[in-house]
C-alpha cells in the first residue's frame, strides 16, 4: 500500500535524514488554537504530525499529555471535531502525513466502519491505537488497511524476539519504538540501548523505525536521528501549550521548539 507516509519517508531517504514527528493533542487548549498550532507545525520543521485523540483514560501517556487530553475534553473536543480539524488542515496542506494516536474506546463508540470512512475522507493517513494488540487485528487494523489507512504498531523494550514478528505482522507506514518502559515523557532514553533495539527491529522488518517517549531536546533528537528513521517528540511540545498565556504564544513557543528539534534531526548525519 502506497501512502502519504511512505512517500514522506521515501523523500527523506533521498535527503539522507530522519523525520521529525511532532505530537499534539487535538483540541488542546481549544479547537481554534489547536488548529492554529497544527497548521504551524510543517513550516517549523515537522515532517509528520501525530495528533492525539483526547480520551479520559490514556494509559500510555504521562502527566503532560493526560492534562492536554483533559483540557481538550473540557473545551468540548470530540471525535467528530478531531476529524473536522484534520479536514480543515488538509485545505491548506495536502502533503504532510497526519497520524491519529489514541485508544480504541472512542473509535468503538463512534463505530469502526463510520470512523474509517470519515477519517479517510478527512485526510488521515495512519492510526496508532495503543490498547489493541495484534490478536485483535480484525477489529480495526485490517479494516483500516483495507480503507487505505496505515496501522502503526508499537514495539517496546520488553517486546522480545518471539513476540516481535506478531507485532510487525500487519503493521504498515512505520514501526513506533517506545524507547523507555513506562509512559510518555517519563525519562530520557539511552541512545546505545535504543540503537541496539532499532537494529533488532530492522532485522525483522523493512519498515522505517520511529523512536519516541522521553525525547525533549534538540541534542537528544540529533543522537536518536543518527540511527533511526524518525524521532517523535510529544510531551515537550504539549508543555509549551500548558505554559502559554494565549494562542499566539502557544504557536510561537511550539514553533520555536519544533525548529530547534528539526535542526537537531537535520544535523544528525551531516
pLDDT, tens only, 106-133? 999 999 999 999 999 999 999 999 999 9
Instruction: Say what the pLDDT of residue 62 is.
Output: 84
Give the pTM.
Answer: 0.95
* Span 179-189, average pLDDT: 69
pLDDT of amino acid 243:
85
Mean pLDDT of 202-208: 96
- Domains of the chain from N-terminus onward: 4-268 (3.20.20.70)
The residue to which cell 488538509 is assigned: 90
- Is residue 150 pLDDT above 60, yes or no? yes
Give yes or no for residue 1 having a pLDDT over 60: no
Backbone phi and psi for residue 40, each to the nearest 5 degrees, phi listed first: -85, -20
Least Cα distance to 48 among 109, 7, 91, 102 occurs for 7
The mean pLDDT value for 218-243 works out to 95
Identify the band that residue 29 occupies on the pLDDT scale cut at 50, 70 and 90. very high
**Contact in structure between 213 and 184 (CB atoms under 8 Å):** yes
Q: What is the pLDDT of residue 268?
A: 96
Choose the catalytic residue: 28, 47, 50, 125.
50
Q: How many Cβ atoms sit within 10 Å of the Cβ of residue 29?
A: 21
Q: What was the pLDDT predicted at 184? A: 64
Q: Give yes or no: 50 in active site.
A: yes
Q: Cβ distance 77 to 27 under 8 Å? A: yes
Separation of alpha carbons 232 and 74, rounded Å: 26
In the block, cell 502503526 appears at 152
Res 190: pLDDT: 86
**First vs last C-alpha separation in the chain:** 31
The reported pLDDT for the residue numbered 183 is 62
Asked whether the bond before 84 is cis by omega within 30 degrees of 0, the reply is: no
What is the structure's pLDDT at 162?
A: 92
Q: Which residue out of 28, 61, 118, 239 is catalytically annotated?
A: 61
Is the pLDDT at 260 greater than 70? The verdict is yes
| Active site annotation includes 61 | yes
Amino acid at each position: 500500500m502506497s501512502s502519504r507516509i511512505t512517500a514522506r519517508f521515501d523523500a527523506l531517504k533521498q535527503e539522507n535524514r530522519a523525520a521529525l514527528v511532532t505530537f499534539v493533542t487535538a483540541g488542546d487548549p481549544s479547537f481554534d488554537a489547536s488548529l492554529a498550532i497544527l497548521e504551524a507545525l510543517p513550516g517549523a520543521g515537522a515532517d509528520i504530525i501525530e495528533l492525539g485523540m483526547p480520551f479520559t483514560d490514556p494509559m500510555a501517556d504521562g502527566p503532560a499529555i493526560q492534562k492536554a487530553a483533559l483540557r481538550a475534553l473540557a473545551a468540548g473536543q470530540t471525535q467528530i471535531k478531531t476529524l473536522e480539524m484534520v479536514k480543515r488542515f488538509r485545505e491548506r496542506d495536502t502533503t504532510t502525513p497526519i497520524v491519529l494516536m489514541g485508544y480504541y474506546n472512542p473509535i468503538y463508540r463512534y463505530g469502526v466502519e463510520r470512523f474509517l470512512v470519515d477519517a479517510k475522507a478527512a485526510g488521515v493517513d495512519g492510526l496508532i491505537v495503543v490498547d489493541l494488540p495484534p490478536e485483535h487485528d480484525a477489529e480495526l487494523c485490517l479494516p483500516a488497511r483495507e480503507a487505505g489507512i496505515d496501522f502503526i504498531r508499537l514495539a517496546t523494550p520488553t517486546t522480545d524476539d518471539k513476540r516481535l514478528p506478531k507485532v510487525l505482522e500487519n503493521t504498515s507506514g512505520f514501526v513506533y519504538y517506545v524507547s523507555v518502559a513506562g509512559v510518555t515523557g517519563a525519562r530520557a532514553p539511552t541512545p546505545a540501548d535504543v540503537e541496539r533495539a532499532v537494529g533488532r527491529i530492522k532485522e525483522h522488518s523493512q519498515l522505517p523505525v520511529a523512536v519516541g517517549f522521553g525525547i525533549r531536546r534538540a541534542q537528544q533528537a540529533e543522537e536518536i536521528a543518527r540511527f533511526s528513521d524518525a524521532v517523535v517528540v510529544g510531551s515537550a511540545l504539549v508543555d509549551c501549550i500548558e505554559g502559554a498565556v494565549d494562542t499566539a504564544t502557544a504557536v510561537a513557543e511550539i514553533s520555536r521548539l519544533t525548529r530547534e528539534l528539526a535542526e537537531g534531526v537535520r544535523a544528525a548525519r551531516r
